[in-house]
Amino acid sequence: MKKIHIVGLGLLGGSFALALKQAKPDLIFTGYDANAKNQADALTLGIIDEACEEPDADTDVIMLATPANTLTGLLLKYLNQIGSNTLIIDFGSTKSKLCKAVANHPKRAQYLSGHPIAGTEYSGPKAAKADLLDKKVFIICEMELTDVHLKGMAYDILEALNMKLRFMDAEEHDRHLAFVSHLSHVSSFMLGKTVLDKMEDERNIFDMAGSGFASTVRLAKSSPAMWAPIMEENKNNILEALSLYISNLSKFRDKIIADDYEGLASDMHKINKIGDILDLGK
């Protein structure tokens, strides 16, 4: 393996390149971003060695790190043009539609469906960090459908990045991510909207907001260009998660209306278990 091409030079694509450059300094990185400034910044920051829209014929791995609703078109485009020794990996937050779109493609075995569980509320190549992916989970869907030799090349990359591999069905992935990732972003955006709608004086928000508010609303700084497409691609699962969330919010409100504070305390005590599951105390 000697050459990697990255499409999408933002937080994930950039962090992937920076980390792999440290682990494997002999690799050559080419890349492209539809945003000309992102592409220029990626060159300046050393994320890529050369900017080019199309990968060279001898490229070993094409990494797709673009918004979720662009991935199907890009994946089909590159599958149609690559040689037999090139692997395509995507970093998309939704997997089911993508996997279905290429299920019958003659080069399906040259695609690895992946999702790194990593990120921040910031975007663009300037937000990229070499340690972003370190010790993070990397989910692989439909692992058995990827060519065994090309898959070995992917495992070599992921091991070099010190990532923890998990394997999952594509539909299961999207269903779970709707609850543990996508819903939390919706909640954060809507908390931010609620406060902005009610508190017109920005100074009051700044002066009165404590660490609890800041940590809860942090995700509302996330890129709409990334998150609106995720809502589009995982619509049904997100709607299910939202319906359950709204139902629980309504029940919580009803207990306050009824002055049932013992009920509230009991509910919150049960919910505290999430801290043990996620080991939030550490």
For residue 206, pLDDT over 70 is answered with no
pTM beyond cutoff 0.85:
yes
User: What pLDDT sits at residue 85?
Assistant: 95
* Alpha carbon distance 67, 227 (integer Å): 8
Average of per-residue pLDDT across 105-127: 93
* Beta strands 137-141; 164-168: pairing state: parallel
What's the average model confidence in pLDDT over 127-154? 96
With 90 as the cut, is the pLDDT of residue 202 above it? no
Burial of 148 from C-beta contacts in 10 A (0-12 / 13-18 / 19+): exposed
Res. 165 pLDDT band, cuts 50 70 90: very high
- Which two tokens mark 61? 């791995």
pLDDT at 280 over 60: no
Taking residues 188-198, what's their average pLDDT? 86
- Among residues 110, 100, 125, which one has the least CA distance to residue 39? 125
pLDDT, mean over the chain:
92
If one counts every other C-beta atom within 10 angstroms of the C-beta of residue 166, the result is 13
Give the pLDDT of residue 204: 65
- C-alpha atoms less than 13 angstroms from C-alpha of 84 in its C-beta half-sphere: 2
Sheet holding 111-116, edge to edge: 50-51, 28-32, 3-7, 61-64, 87-90, 111-116, 137-141, 164-168
Note the pLDDT tens digit of each residue in 71-100. Answer: 999 999 999 999 999 999 999 999 999 999
Amino acid in the structure at residue 156: D
- Cα angle 173, 174, 180 (rounded to 5 degrees) comes to 85
CB atoms within 10 A of CB 203: 8
Interatomic CA distance for residues 14 and 126, integer angstroms: 8
Calpha distance 30→22 (Å, rounded): 16
Whether pLDDT at 282 is above 50? no
State residue 208's pLDDT score. 63
pLDDT at res. 211: 67
Helix H or strand E segment including 116: strand 111-116
- Per-residue pLDDT of 40-53, as tens digits, reads 999 999 999 999 99
What is the SS3 assignment for 228?
Answer: helix
Q: Which domains does the chain have, with CATH numbers?
A: 3-168 (3.40.50.720), 173-278 (1.10.3660.10)
pLDDT score of 32: 97
Percent with pLDDT over 90 in the chain: 82
H-type helices in 161-272, by residue range? Answer: 170-177, 183-198, 202-208, 211-217, 224-233, 235-257, 261-271
